[in-house]
Every structure is written in structure tokens, then in C-alpha cells.
Amino acid sequence: MSSMLLSTIPQVSSSLSESYCLTLLSVQTKSKKTLARPGVKNVVLVEGVRTPFLLSGTTGLLQRTGLPKDAVDYIIYGTVIQEVKTTSILRHNINQRTLGAGFSDKIPAHTVTMACISSNQAMTSGVGLIAAGQCDSIVAGGVEFMSDVPIRHSRKMRKTMLSLSRAKTLGQRLGLIGSIRMAHLSPELPAVAEFSTAETMGHSADRLAAAFGVSRVEQDEFAVRSHTLAKKAQDAGLLQDVISFKVPGRDIVSKDNGIRVSSMEQMGKLKAAFIKPHGTVTAANSSFLTDGASAVLIMSEEKALAMGYKPKAYLRDFVYVSQDPKDQLLLGPTYGTPKVLERAGLTMSDIDVFEFHEAFAGQIMANLKAMDSDWFGQTYLGKKSKVGTPPMEKFNLWGGSLSLGHPFGATGCRLVTTVAHRLQKEGGQYGLLAACAAGGQGHAMVIEAYPQ
Amino acid sequence: MSVLVSLNGRRRIYEVKGDVAVVRINDPNSKVNTLSIQMQKEMAEVMDEVWANDAVKSAVLISSKPGCFIAGADINMIQSCNSADEVTTLSQEGQKMFERIEKSPKPIVAAINGSCLGGGLEFAIACQYRIATKSKKTVLGTPEVMLGLLPGAGGTQRLPKMVGLPSAFDMMLTGRNIRADKAKKMGLVNQLVDPLGPGLKSPEERTIDYLEEVAIEYARGIVNKKIPIRKEKEIQDYVMSFEFVRNQIYKTVHSKVMKQSKGLYPAPLKIIECVKTGVEQGPVAGYLSESQNFGQLARTSESGALIGLYHGQVACKKNHYGVPQREVKTLAILGAGLMGAGVAQVTVDKGVHTVLKDTTVSGLARGEQQVYKGLNDKTKKRNITSFQRDSILSGLTGQLDYSGFEKVDMVIEAVFEDIHIKHAVLKEVEAVVSPHCIFASNTSALPIKDIAAASKRPDKVIGMHYFSPVDKMQLLEIITTDQTSKDTTASAVAVGLKQGKVIIVVGDGPGFYTTRCLAPMLAEAVRVLQEGVDPKKLDALTTSFGFPVGAATLADEVGIDVAAHVAEDLGKAFGSRFGGGNVEVLKTMVDLGFKGRKSGKGCYIYQPGLKTKEVNPDIGDVLEQFRMTPNPAVSSDSDVQYRLVSRFVNEAVLCLQEGILKNPLEGDIGAVFGLGFPPCLGGPFRFVDSFGADKLVEKMRRFEAVYGNQFTPCQLLLDHAKDSSKKFHK
């Protein structure tokens, strides 16, 4: 596991003309000028980086920060499938990674887990610590090693092994060893399945797509859109959060290697992956699980400015939601979006940049249809009418989890960083990100551009 | 292209989607679809159109009703026939229609969501392909045997071919419901579809639409030869090709049926006969045997009795007392014994917050463990997931005090059967609960009005008599006093229905209805034992009459101490009519620790892990002390049987005469579902109707001459004996 530090944090530039700022504000017709609230600390995103999301191989976290070695108060990491040797003892792990690069061994750290929104939880926990005045600067991130997940012995075998370590005599040991049968030896493989329903996520996504009448073609088209936009963004050099990473024993990897623009015909050839044979979710219209790591540096605004950083964005209101893990497993964005907008006092039209986690093309389409349905809004969201859908010309314009990949724990930071970068690039003021997660949970956050 | 053709009654609509005809079944007059004459006629018309329509290449058969494909044949249609021949003709018409479906030149896909039973299943298996939803409501089965009938529209002929002889026999002889995933494994359905959650429509509606979409896809696939409809030959088919293997199966199944039914039920034997004829002599003989046997069975008294019970069960699963003002959201149970914990289990698993209160930590722990075990057994059988089990258990609160009782809507007490303890508990409860709270007593014999005498709110006091084991026994006997309010009754019935019970509501009195009928029969059983009949022989005599559990075993199950208690109490209340056997026999057994199954010894010895049970050797000495000399004039096997049964029946009729029972129907349901009265006889009242009140009175007079007033027929029974046109059931 290698470690890297970041070198290029943009310093505050004072060269912006006031007149430019004024023109910028005058074109905006937002319902609010800013989401800053009296008495609430402004929390800013200083920088966000990630490794390329890799289809295979191992990975490491990289950080792009010219931070003084003792300036970070706390480190929080999100991860889903914990392998003790690679991620779980994160304090140790992070230090291993960061000590050489200059992080102090005096910085406490912990891991959080909340399925696909683990790094969102890491960031919002950090926001909480800053807002509460406990910390001023936090490194939050997410890391996933799908290529090295722990595989457990069966419960019977674990029991036997534990008893074996307590056995005192040779006779007891032999007796225990003799009790081992074939059934003991089959391992428990981790599955992307719901604890409460034992249904795999792809299966649930297929049912969700069917419930909202999302066709196979719609799903394939959305997947192709994701790959096409990702390719464009990659070619245009927009994915500036990606930093090169040397895979031990192999070459340096400096870009996401899952982006594959296919024709609709190629997409159509694939067989259903979960509900066979009549399902609509295929390998090509699902996000793929990868190794990957991402990190953000978040600070209180004063601290960032005092240290001479040029923040990228404000992290504003956020919500977590939860609903039925069986039939509404992946509808988090539908529940989270109206709730966070309401909290921020914004409407759908105020948002310039939307970034939704693309777990499955069918899941995104189902969420869009749910947000566009009066019946769903009235029956399940307690609204008078539909929530309304994000306009596609503002939606996931640099690709998404379908094309870039989805390392469970690391996707959240990518979403935040992408929203911040897109706001800068496109000149918008407000961005909204939303994601669904196992257990029927969801998350949404409003991000405000930092005045340029 | 989409054409809507509505037919007379608008029962079925067929719509053409592309080149697939979608035939929707929807009986406008009922919650469920049943195969009636009208429906068969309409179906034939629709299918003729489908076959004649050149634009149509295949068809999908689907129900528009959520939770029901076709629930079976219309029972009334069979019952309204006047002769066996008429029923045979009905059967043959059904056979012909399904034969046309089977031979359809255009493939027909049955899209099944909800119950697909009896005639509905026979319809589905005549189709070329079956797709079923994995919904919990989707069940397939041939329950005809439970009505004393057989699958009479080709079921006995097609099922063995489809699922093999052993599975076909299992389905038809047990009548059990098969869930979709099991049906797929058996080869009964070809494909499964997952039920959907909410989308742009409600989950139920959208699931039906989705099933239809998928079925249309498959129908096209079959036409395009992309989807095979012939099943592959399996090893089982090869094994079954040997005649000696098949003969061995017929023999085994026959002996099993004889052992379990004692030959009292003709339907299972006829089912075996029909299957055998079809397999061994070919379809012509098979179908003929099926239709003829169907006609004969429909006219048997056994079938009449079973159908009567079915109707009764339906009637006793309704709340005739209106909607209660308040829904019971929190229910508290006092006493975590076998009964209390059983009631807790059937309540908490329906999502009602349940408080289980006991006075000791060990008692409470035992009760909670019982609930856990009950639910865990369901997990092992995969009826529920371990997550559901844990989530259900989170609704159960165990406690030793009355904290939080102000939020309780109903209290059911299951404490020791002693009026003083019941009074004490009632007063404690009324001191802490809110005024709307109902107090129900799960007593098996103490009159409710005596318990209510200690109450400040007697209108809120009611009896709820459960049967052990509560999670297995279907009956709930609700007892109302003159003071019990209608709303209290409505609420108790609503709770019982939620618990899944079949409910009878009876008047108050010692032993109410069920205990009162059982007590004289058990008193007679004790006398029979005292007269030197061995417990095993006594059990054989009762089971061969049709009781599922023998009288001696029943006493052990109920508990000898409980039986002694009840016999004494009711003996005091009703006098010598409840005599017969000496109560001291039971009391002596209790003193020796022979309390029945729960103490390991009673009439029999019970050893954990052992299925066979031996007669308790020490019981001989007890019986010797109380030995009576049998009178040979009334001691033949048959006489002993009728001595036991006539006392039961006479007491039941007396309950109706006295107004304890509101009607004979509830009397029959209570006796069969609560006490195991022979189902083939349909209950005490139907038994009097079919056996003849006059013949029964005649037997009773003969016993009366020897034993006295215990056998004196009651007035109502005498009335029926005098006038043979008087029947309890029309």
C-alpha cells in the first residue's frame, strides 16, 4: 500500500475583479443568494482526489495536499467490506500511508460504514465535527478493495476452530478435528445482498425497474450515455480529481479503466444478469464494483482562508433517508432530493449541477420516473404532487458510477468533488448530489460554489 | 392492434396484444374467481374466438383479481346436483373443455398470481406453459380431498404425468397448498416471476401487469420455438416405467391412507383408484373412472359433512358483531404458561404489540422461550426469514409488573384456574388500565359472570377460550355474559380473527360449550377404563370412530389434573348427569403424579425422543381400586363407541336447546376444530341429521336403562327423533 501526498493546492488568488463577481451574481436568478446561515459555521471543500477506479488490481490512496504535517485534526474513512489487513485498522493504516508523507502520528482516525454512502457519511461526520467547533480541518475519504475481501469460514468451522484453541488435551483436539465434515469447509462468500431480505442488489434493481416500467432499451441508452459522457470528460481532461497511482508490480495507472463506449446493438446482446431469463438488468447497464480510494480535505472557512487555501465549494445542507429495504431499496435519491431542497430552501430549478450515484441504469431511470409521478409523490412521499425531475442537461455530465465504476466506500467523495469541479467549470452556484445505499438508505447534499 | 371484446356479464375480456391474445378472468360478482357453469360456457366462447382469430398466434390466461387466479370449482354447482350422474356429467364437461385447452393448436400460457386451486389448477395444468408469481399469496394445490371429493376435471390424469406418481399422490391425498418456488422445483410451473414493489401503480396492480408482460413474452417465445415446452425425461420417469415399482407405490400409498383414515374417508381411496386406472389402462378408462368416482363421491355423507365444515369455517371467519370502536394495538397476556405464551405467539406475529406478564422470572423466561421456539421453527421451515423472526420478536415485551398497562387495549388472562386468583388479577388489572381496556379470561370452565362479579366494568369482561397448542388449534371459543357489550364482543372477535382463529361465540355457563361437551365423554371414558378396557383399546375404539386423537390420549393431552378439576366443577354444577366414571380415579392419578403428557406419565408413559408410547403400568393398580363390572348388554365395541359419542352429542344438542349455542353450525365447528369430533361426521349436529335422531335416541334409551340419567336424551333431541323431517342443517 503506497502513500502519496498532494502537492498542488491552489492558493487563494486575489486577482478576480469585483466587476466579474457582480456580473456573475446578476445573471443568477436564484431564490437565495447564498445558503450561509448566521450562527452556523461555513464548511468548505478544499480539495478532493481519487485514484482511478480500477477494474482489477490493487490500489492505494493518494493525497494531493501541501498541508503542514500537523494541520489535520482528524481523519475519517468510509469502507464497506472490511479486511483487517488492508483497511480495518485504519488508524494504523492511514498513518502508514501518511506518516512518510508528513502526517503526524498524533492525528486520530476512525472508520465509518454505511454501505454505498460510506464516504458521504465520513464527510458529513467531518462536517459535524467542524460545525461543532471540535475540529477545523478534516481528511475524509473512502476506500474499497473488492479484489481482497475477507472470506469467512462457515459458522460451524469457526465454532470448531474456536473450541480447538480452548481444547486442553490431545484427545479433545482429535475429537474436534474428527468432527469436521465437508459442510464445515464451505466458506461464506460475501455477497452484495441485503441482510434483511437476502436479495441481491441487482435483483432488487431489476424488480424496481420493472415496477416503474423501465424498459431494457431505456436502461441501455442511459448506460451508453454515461460511458459516452465519461469518455468525453476524460478526453477533455475534466476528471482532474484523478491522480496517477503506481500499482505495485505493474505500471502506473492514471485514468479510470472501466469506460467503454459500446453501441446499442452490443448492449442489446447481453443476457439478463440477475432475473433470468426475462430480466432487464445486465452487466453492461449496472455499475461495476472496483477497487478505488478517494479523499477530500474539508475545513472551516476561516481556517482554510487563514492557511491560504482557495476553497472549491461550501458543503451545505445534507440529509439521510431510509425506506423499505425490499421494494424501495434503491429509491434513496427520490426521497432525499426533495427533503434536502426543502431544508436548503431551494427548488429544483435553483440547482445547476446534479450528480446522482448511478448504481444501475434501471435504478436511475426508476428514480427519475418516481420523481416524475404524481401518484408516487402523493402515495409515498406525502406530497401534493410530483417532486419533479432534474433536467438531463444538468445531470451526471461527466459520467457516473456506471462508467467510472463503483468502489462502494469511495463513491461519495467522487460525487462531492465532481459537483464542486463542475460548478467551477460550468459557472453554476448550487449543486445537488444524491445516492442510494443498501438497507434502503439514501443521502443527498447541497453544495454551493465558492465565490471565484 | 388492440381489440376489446366484452362478453355477457363482462366476466372475461380478451385483448389482442400484437399476436398474443390476453384472456382476463374476472368474476364480477365475487372476490374470487370460481369455475362455474357460466364461466365454463363463456370461456369456451372466448377460446373459440381465439382459435378462429388468424391474427392470434398464442394466448395468455390471467386473472384480473389480485391474490386469486382461480380458487376452484364452484361448490354450490356440485351441491345443487340431484344425482351422481348429474355430477358425473359436470365432471365430463370439465374434462372435455380442458382437453380442448390441452390440444390447443395455439400455445396457451397460464399466468398465475394468487390462489390456483382445485379446478383452477386443473385448468392451469391443461395449458401448455405456466408462469407463477413468487408472491406469498400464490399457492397451487388440489384441496378436493378435504371436501371428500377428487380432482374431477382431469387432475387425477394429468398431475401424475406432470409431477410423477409420488408427488401427484402427495398433492391429491393431502390437499396441501404448494408455494410457487416449490411448484417450480416439482415441475408444476415452468417459470417464476418476482412480485414487484410500488412503482407508478400499487404493488398488486403492477405485479399483475408485469406478470402479463412477461407471459406475453414467453407466449411469443414458445411460438418462435425459443422456449421449449416439453420437459426433459428424468430419472424418476425411467424408474416409473417399471410396473413393479408402480405397484409398490400404489400399495404403499393405499396402506398409508388406510392407516391414517381408518377407512372412514372414501375420497383418498378413489383418488388412488383413478390414478391407477389412468396409468395402467390408459386415458379413456382413466377419465371415465375419474368422472364416475367424482359423481359418486359428491353424493357421500362424508363429502356432505366436509363441505358443511368448509362453509362453517368460512362463516366463522367473519366478524358478525361489526367493527370495534377501537383497534387493539397493544395486547397484554397475564401468565406466561403454555397457553399464555401460545396466545402471545399468535398475536405478536400478526404485528400487534404484545406484553407477556408473569409473576416469576423463570416462568417468564420459559414463556418467552416458547414464543421464540415457535417462531424459530417457522424459520427452520423457511416460512419466515430469521430477520422476520427477530423483527416479530421485537414486538414482544416480557415483564413482571404492570408498568405501561395504561396503554394496553386488551388483557387476556391465562393464570391458574381458581376463581380467587382470577378475581385478584382482575382487580389488579382494572386498577392500572385505562377505561376502554377489555379484560378477557382464558378459562376453560369457570363461568365468566362469576369472574366479572369482581369487575367495575362488567361490560368489558369476556371469555376467550383458546385450545392447546394455541399455534396449531384453529378454534377460539368466545364467551359473552348478559352484561358483555356488543363492542367488547366485536373487539374480541376482531382480535381472534387477526390471530387466524375460527371463532364461535357462545353464551355463558359452566364449561360453556366445548368443555361441557367434552366432560361427559371423558367421564364415560373413565367408566370404560374402570370396566376393564385397556387405554390402548379405548384409544382404538375412539379413533376408529373417526376421532383424530383417542380418548385416553386426549385426557393425557388435556392434563389429568385439568380433567379432574373440570369434572369436579361441572359435576357440582350439573349433578349426576355428569357422572359415570369416578372422579376419584383422576384424583388418585394426580396424587401419584400422573398428570398426563406434561408430567411424563398419565394413561401412558411419555419419554422425550420416543414416538411410541406404552401404557403406564401403574395405572392398572389405580383402576383396580375402582374396578366396575361391565354389563355385557351395553359393552360391545360398538356400544362403547356410542356410549362415548352419544353423551357428547346429547350435551351439544342440550347447549343449543338452552341457548348456549346460537346455531348448530357453530356447534359443529366448535366440536370439530376444538375437540376433534370426527370431521367425516361433520360435527354432532350433522351427525344427528345423517345418523338419525331416532336411532340415536333408541341407543341412548338402552344405555339409560343400565346407567340412568347420564343417557337421558334432551328434549330437542327427542323432538328431532319424533319428527324425521326436523333437521339441524337444511
Chain A residues inside the 8 Å CB shell of B387:
195-197
- In sequence order, the 6+-apart residues with CB closer than 8 A to the CB of A420 are A45, A48, A312, A313, A431, A447, A449
Strands B475-480 and B502-507: parallel
CA dist B430 → B411, B438, B479 (Å): 10, 10, 20
Q: What is the pLDDT of residues A368-399, one digit of tens each?
A: 999 999 999 999 999 999 999 999 999 999 99
- Please indicate whether residue A12 or residue A258 has the higher confidence score (pLDDT): A258
The sign one gets for the Cα dihedral A57, A63, A64, A66 is negative
pLDDT at residue number A192? 60
Q: What is the pLDDT of residues A157-211, one digit of tens each?
A: 777 778 878 888 888 888 888 887 777 777 666 566 676 677 888 999 999 999 9
> Are B198 and A376 inside 8 Å of each other by CB?
yes
Chain B residues inside the 8 Å CB shell of A370:
199
Mean pLDDT of B95-110: 96
For the question of residue A413 being annotated catalytic, the response is no
pLDDT at residue number B173? 96
pLDDT category at B144 given cuts 50, 70, 90 is very high
CA dist A342 → A319, A346, A384 (Å): 10, 6, 14
pLDDT category at A60 given cuts 50, 70, 90 is very low
Of B197, B199, B217, the CB nearest to A326: B197
Phi, psi for residue A288 in degrees, rounded to 5 = -110, 145
Chain B residues inside the 8 Å CB shell of A328:
197-198
- Contact map slice: B 49-68 vs A, CB within 8 A: none
DSSP string, B475-532: EEEEEE-SS--HHHHHHHHHHHHHTT-EEEEEE-STTTTHHHHHHHHHHHHHHHHHTT
Q: Which residues pair with B319 in a beta bridge?
A: none
How close is the nearest chain A Cα to the Cα of B228, in Å?
Answer: 13
Chain A, nearest residue to B204 by Cα = A211
> Are B200 and A373 inside 8 Å of each other by CB?
yes
For the question of residue B651 being annotated catalytic, the response is no
pLDDT at residue number A16? 35
Of B197, B199, B387, the CB nearest to A213: B199
The mean of the pLDDT values for chain B is 93
CA dist A245 → A2, A58, A64, A80, A250 (Å): 9, 10, 12, 22, 10
From the candidates B122, B477, B651, B666, give the one annotated as an active-site residue. Answer: B477
Contact B472, B479 (CB under 8 A): no
Cell numbers given for B450: 362469576
* Interface residue B218 vs chain A (CB under 8 A): yes
Of B191, B193, B206, the CB nearest to A211: B206
pLDDT at residue number A262? 92
**Beta-carbon contacts below 8 Å between A and B:** 57
Q: What is the pLDDT of residues B154-198, one digit of tens each?
A: 999 999 999 999 999 999 999 999 999 999 999 999 999 999 999
Which ipTM score applies to this complex? 0.82
> Are A328 and B197 inside 8 Å of each other by CB?
yes
* Total number of residues shown for chain A: 452
- In sequence order, the 6+-apart residues with CB closer than 8 A to the CB of B271 are B145, B150, B151, B156, B169, B172, B173
The mean of the pLDDT values for chain A is 81
> Are B199 and A210 inside 8 Å of each other by CB?
yes
Q: Does the pLDDT value for residue A20 go beyond 50? A: no
Chain B residues inside the 8 Å CB shell of A211:
196-200, 203, 206, 210
pLDDT category at B242 given cuts 50, 70, 90 is confident
> Are B203 and A211 inside 8 Å of each other by CB?
yes
Q: What is the pLDDT of residues B355-372, one digit of tens each?
A: 999 999 999 999 999 999
Q: CA geometry: angle at B408 spanning B405 and B414, to 5°?
A: 85
From the candidates A357, A406, A421, A443, give the one annotated as an active-site residue. Answer: A406
What is the spatial distance between Cα B726 and Cα B711, in angstroms, rounded to a whole number? Answer: 21
CA-based nearest residue to B325, from B466, B459, B426: B459
* A47-61, B56-70, B283-297, B580-594: segment of lowest average pLDDT: A47-61
Helix axes B514-530, B535-543, angle to 10 degrees: 130
From the candidates A227, A413, A436, A443, give the one annotated as an active-site residue. Answer: A436
> Are B210 and A211 inside 8 Å of each other by CB?
yes
pLDDT category at A15 given cuts 50, 70, 90 is very low
Contact B481, B452 (CB under 8 A): yes
- In sequence order, the 6+-apart residues with CB closer than 8 A to the CB of B230 are none
What is the spatial distance between Cα B652 and Cα B717, in angstroms, rounded to a whole number? Answer: 10
* Interface residue B385 vs chain A (CB under 8 A): yes
Residue whose cell numbers read 383399546 = B537
Q: What is the pLDDT of residues A197-249, one digit of tens each?
A: 778 889 999 999 999 999 999 999 999 999 999 999 999 999 988 877 766 67
Chain B residues inside the 8 Å CB shell of A376:
198-200
Q: What is the pLDDT of residues A252-271, one digit of tens each?
A: 778 888 899 999 999 999 99
